[in-house]
């Protein structure tokens, strides 16, 4: 990894997923996008390929790989369909990974095998109308009553929470208050496993989004939801802190997805610039187009190096929080900037929803928002600099 050249095993995985993305995912992407329909058939095949189990041990139904392998798969899927890529990313990083990192042996044995096989999906219920990056705004409450957690609250923008195969949402909730030295109180936030079949749990109507139209995203309502006391995930009061750890890893995955989207815009623009003629020659002969595409390639290349570096540090057991934040920010901006420039290269054809660059234009904006906004990444980077 020091030279950023992939090992044979990693390269084989990348090639396999690239072939799957081009031959299986791409042909149906426009249809699912237009219909806002969830790609169950694609998810099933990704599960059979072992993609949902890539970073988990075989004892829990996984493939025994690592999170960098997942990132490589996400880059290739992100080229052709960001909705499919985020379904995999959220299913693993937000759905299954918290259970693997912080769950009891019993919780892992119960929940991980179906999640690792892609037969089931899980979501992470963090964001609320007044809380997301600001954990202090969390209003969802969970009280321990007669051996059960009783949960009341609402969540917003929760991925993979309302499909036919969604079986679980891990919910952050205030489980107590602690006194501070200055006389104020601090919210004790814990994470609790809530099966979607639990009475009182409801996935509300799906959002009508700008992009990621084939990804499942819902607001959630929890009204007197009762789950067993043993559904507490990790130590009580450590829920938000544990989730921040998971987010650091997830940012590498999101960066890989963004890199794939950025690279796709380059590849599509190069192909179009060689085919499209104007004023007697192909438009790729004009320096204005050449420079635009060259800058797009530089962005994609930089994004890839950034997530490779963060991934290498993660695998080596070194600190990688700042590198993950940089990678997430750089890749998200590369995807958005490249989508805008690709649309310009394509002209009117780039403004037609059926075109792949138009889909990337709509899809890529969320990469600067979801799983930590660009501003949050800048805060993390500045904090590391001692500012």
CA distance 103 to 93: 14
Q: If you ran DSSP here, which 8-state letter would residue 132 be given?
A: S
Contact (Cβ atoms closer than 8 angstroms) between residue 368 and residue 254: no
Report d(CA 335, CA 270) in Å as an integer: 16
Q: Where are the beta strands (DSSP E) in the chain?
A: 121-125, 141-145, 148-159, 166-179, 185-195, 201-203, 217-228, 232-233, 277-278, 281-282
Tell me which DSSP letter residue 91 carries. Answer: I
Q: In terms of DSSP bridges, do strands 166-179 and 121-125 run parallel, antiparallel, or are they unpaired?
A: parallel
- Per annotation, catalytic residue among 148, 371, 375, 384: 371
Closest Cα partner for 337 from 382, 309, 302?
302
To the query of whether residue 371 is one of the catalytic residues in this protein, the response is yes
> Closest Cα to residue 25, out of 54, 64, 53, 51?
51
- How far CA 379 is from CA of 150, 303, 332, 335, 348, in Å, comes to 35, 19, 16, 21, 38
Give the torsion sign (CA, 253, 372, 155, 38).
Answer: negative
CB 155 within 8 A of CB 124: no
Q: Which residues have a catalytic role annotated?
A: 371
């Amino acid at each position: 990894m020091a030279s950023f050249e992939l090992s044979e095993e990693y390269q084989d995985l990348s090639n396999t997923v690239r072939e799957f993305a081009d031959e299986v995912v791409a042909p149906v992407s426009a249809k699912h996008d237009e219909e806002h329909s969830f790609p169950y058939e694609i998810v099933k095949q990704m599960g059979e390929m072992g993609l949902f189990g890539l970073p988990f041990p075989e004892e829990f139904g996984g493939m025994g790989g690592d999170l960098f392998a997942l990132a490589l798969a996400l880059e290739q899927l992100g080229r052709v369909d960001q909705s499919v890529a985020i379904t995999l990313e959220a299913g693993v990083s937000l759905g299954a990974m918290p259970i693997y990192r912080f769950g009891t042996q019993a919780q892992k044995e119960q929940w991980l095998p179906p999640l690792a096989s892609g037969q089931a999906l899980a979501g992470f219920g963090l964001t609320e109308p007044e809380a997301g990056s600001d954990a202090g705004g969390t209003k969802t409450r969970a009280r321990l009553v007669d051996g059960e957690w009783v949960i009341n609250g609402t969540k917003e923008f929760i991925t993979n929470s309302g499909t036919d195969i969604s079986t679980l949402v891990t919910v952050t909730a205030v489980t107590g208050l602690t006194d501070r030295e200055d006389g104020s109180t601090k919210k004790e936030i814990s994470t609790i496993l809530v099966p979607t079949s639990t009475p009182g749990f409801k996935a509300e109507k799906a959002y009508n989004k700008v992009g990621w139209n084939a990804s499942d995203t819902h607001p959630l309502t929890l009204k007197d939801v009762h789950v067993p006391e043993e559904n507490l995930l990790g130590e009580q009061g450590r829920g938000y802190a544990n989730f921040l750890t998971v987010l650091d890893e997830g940012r590498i995955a999101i960066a890989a997805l963004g890199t794939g989207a950025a690279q796709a815009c380059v590849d599509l623009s190069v192909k179009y610039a060689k085919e499209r003629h104007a004023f007697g020659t192909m438009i790729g002969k004009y320096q204005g187009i050449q420079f635009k595409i060259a800058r797009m390639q530089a962005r994609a290349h930089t994004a890839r190096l950034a997530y490779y570096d963060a991934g290498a540090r993660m695998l080596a057991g070194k600190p990688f929080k700042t590198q993950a934040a940089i990678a997430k920010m750089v890749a998200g901006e590369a995807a958005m900037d490249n989508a805008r420039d690709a649309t310009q290269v394509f002209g009117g054809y780039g403004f037609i929803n059926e075109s792949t660059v138009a889909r990337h234009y709509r899809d890529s904006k969320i990469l600067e928002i979801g799983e930590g906004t660009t501003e949050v990444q800048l805060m993390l980077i500045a904090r590391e600099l001692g500012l």
